[in-house]
């Protein structure tokens, strides 16, 4: 699959706001599809909005506002995909009381298409995640966690594929090293695999399935001052990923970061903070000129 041409247009939408940008598709001779990617990360059991007297985020966030915003976008755009980059659990009494079941039920009600696991999604142990996972009507992708011989075995997959408007969108997931970050008893016999190697294997698998767009859900973290693997390093040291949706470091980005991959082509990296304060949005416009050639752009 040859690399496509990119033109950037994206937005970070405050979950307390219902003012949205519009996307205009230009007239073209080729068949054009617009895929709208909406995404969250590190929501951390924040079901309710922050109180109105909160010093930093007064009245912001909350599942109800996010639902209204997502529904509005779905009413305006034909092909919408909703993704989450992990750390769904932990942070409010809702997790302490319901063990993640409420979060999974609400994400299902919001219509999430795919999620991945963050380190805090192990806080209830593997049995706890498996119990909550039963209430999620969407897949989890975790390519570099080998869950063989654990209660989560079979409840995740390295990759998945979504079809929208005749297009194939491939999604895979990678996560942070658990050792030293999560108590050993919480992740049990889970084996951690190299996110770089796994990511490239996942890309090859999705390319073989002729995916038009390849997205990585990452809970590695945006960047570090050390050699620790991050989203920026992942983008630099792989090829074939169009978009990395990140989490873990609670990084608020105004717009995606453009990173040159191993082929010298652009991979976009985005992250929208934490607690459901912001909802990320990126619009991809895809032209199919023939069965042998595809051109991918982000609408401007």
pLDDT computed for residue 31 by the predictor: 56
Range of the domain at 127: 10-18+32-298
Domain count, the chain: 1
Q: Are 144 and 195 in contact (CB under 8 A)?
A: yes
pLDDT computed for residue 47 by the predictor: 98
Is residue 269 in some structural domain? yes
Q: Is the pLDDT of residue 24 over 50?
A: no
**Binning pLDDT at 50, 70 and 90, where does residue 9 land?**
very low
Cα 15 versus chain centre, distance: 17
Q: Is the pLDDT of residue 28 over 70?
A: no
pLDDT computed for residue 124 by the predictor: 98
Pairing of strands 257-260, 278-288: unpaired
By percentage, how much of the chain surpasses pLDDT 70?
85
Q: pLDDT tens, 180-205?
A: 999 999 999 999 999 999 999 999 99
* Phi/psi at 289 (5° precision): -85, -25
pLDDT computed for residue 235 by the predictor: 98
CATH number at residue 128: 3.60.21.10
Q: Is the pLDDT of residue 287 over 90?
A: no
Q: Is the pTM of the predicted complex or chain greater than 0.85?
A: yes
Give the integer Cα–Cα distance in Å for 31 and 37: 20
Calculate the CA dihedral of residues 109, 72, 159, 31 and round it to 10 degrees. 140
Q: pLDDT tens, 208-256?
A: 999 999 999 999 999 999 999 999 999 999 999 999 999 999 999 999 9
When mean pLDDT is compared across 19-28, 77-86, 143-152, the lowest value belongs to: 19-28
Is residue 24 in some structural domain? no
* Arithmetic mean of pLDDT, 101-124: 98
Q: What is the CA radius of gyration of the chain?
A: 18
Q: Are 99 and 128 in contact (CB under 8 A)?
A: yes
* Arithmetic mean of pLDDT, 164-171: 94
SS3 category, 120 = helix
Is residue 3 in some structural domain? no
Is residue 25 in some structural domain? no
Which region holds residue 45: left if phi is over 0, alpha if psi is between -120 and 50, else beta?
Answer: left
Is residue 5 in some structural domain? no
Is residue 1 in some structural domain? no
């Amino acid at each position: 699959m040859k690399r496509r041409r990119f033109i950037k247009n994206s937005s970070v939408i405050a979950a307390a706001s219902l003012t949205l940008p519009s996307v205009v598709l230009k007239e073209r001779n080729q068949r054009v599809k617009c895929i709208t990617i909406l995404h969250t990360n590190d929501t951390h059991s924040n079901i309710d909005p922050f109180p109105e007297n909160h010093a930093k985020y007064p009245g912001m966030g909350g599942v109800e506002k996010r639902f209204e915003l997502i529904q509005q976008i779905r009413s305006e755009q034909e092909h919408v995909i909703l993704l989450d980059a992990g750390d769904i659990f932990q942070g409010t009494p809702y997790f302490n009381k319901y063990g993640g079941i409420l979060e999974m039920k609400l994400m299902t009600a919001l219509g999430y298409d795919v999620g991945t696991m963050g380190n805090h999604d192990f806080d209830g142990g593997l049995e706890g995640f498996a119990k909550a996972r039963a209430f999620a009507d969407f897949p989890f992708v975790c390519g570099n966690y080998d869950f063989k011989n654990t209660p989560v075995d079979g409840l995740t997959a390295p990759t998945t594929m979504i079809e929208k408007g005749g297009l194939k969108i491939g999604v895979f997931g990678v996560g942070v090293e658990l050792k030293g970050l999560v108590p050993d008893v919480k992740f049990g016999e889970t084996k951690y695999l190299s996110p770089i190697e796994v990511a490239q294997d996942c890309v090859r698998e999705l390319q073989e399935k002729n995916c038009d767009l390849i997205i990585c859900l990452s809970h590695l973290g945006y960047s570090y001052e050390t050699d620790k693997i991050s989203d920026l390093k992942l983008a630099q040291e792989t090829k074939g990923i169009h978009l990395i949706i990140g989490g873990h470091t609670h990084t608020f980005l105004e717009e995606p970061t453009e990173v040159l991959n191993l082929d010298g082509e652009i991979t976009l990296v985005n992250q929208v903070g934490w607690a459901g304060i912001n909802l990320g949005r990126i619009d991809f416009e895809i032209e199919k000129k023939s069965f042998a050639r595809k051109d991918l752009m982000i609408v401007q």
